[in-house]
């Protein structure tokens, strides 16, 4: 005697279990789809960032070299010193400079006025 049962026999024997399995399968498939979309977004973002970095490198290098050729007095005129040159392209540095540029004149440092 064969102890195995077929799918129609199983479905007819326990009808509520069959619907639970299909809903569980639907949840699993939805979770898989969401995971795959998240991985795809991460890969697109990483590729985009890499491409942007490669494209912007020559411009960034040119600006860095131009700043490095300025004298200390010329750097002070634009509110920088030699130590700031390597940080010019960092987001934190840009945010700090934006805040300093928008500050009232009394709150600005003496060399930035």
Q: Cα separations (Å) of 16 from 24, 28, 92, 112? A: 12, 19, 58, 75
Eight-class DSSP state of 39: H
Q: What is the pLDDT along the chain (113 residues), one digit of tens a residue?
A: 566 777 777 667 665 555 566 888 888 899 999 999 999 999 999 999 999 989 989 998 898 899 889 998 998 888 888 888 888 777 767 677 777 777 676 655 555 54
Identify the H or E element spanning 25. helix 15-69
Measured from the Cβ of residue 1, the count of other Cβ atoms closer than 10 Å reads 2
First CA to last CA across the chain, in angstroms? 96
pTM, full prediction: 0.47
Q: Which positions ≥6 away from 66 have C-beta within 8 Å?
A: none
């Amino acid at each position: 005697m064969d102890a195995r049962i077929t799918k129609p026999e199983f479905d007819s024997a326990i009808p509520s279990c069959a619907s639970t399995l299909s809903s569980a399968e639907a949840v699993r498939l939805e979770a898989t789809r969401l995971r795959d979309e998240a991985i795809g977004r991460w890969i697109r973002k990483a590729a985009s960032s890499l491409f942007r970095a490669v494209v912007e490198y020559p411009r960034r290098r040119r600006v860095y070299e131009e700043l490095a050729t300025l004298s200390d007095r010329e750097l002070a005129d634009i509110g920088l010193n030699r130590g700031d040159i390597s940080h010019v392209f960092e987001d934190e540095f840009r945010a700090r400079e934006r805040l300093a540029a928008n500050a009232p004149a009394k709150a600005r440092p003496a060399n930035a006025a």
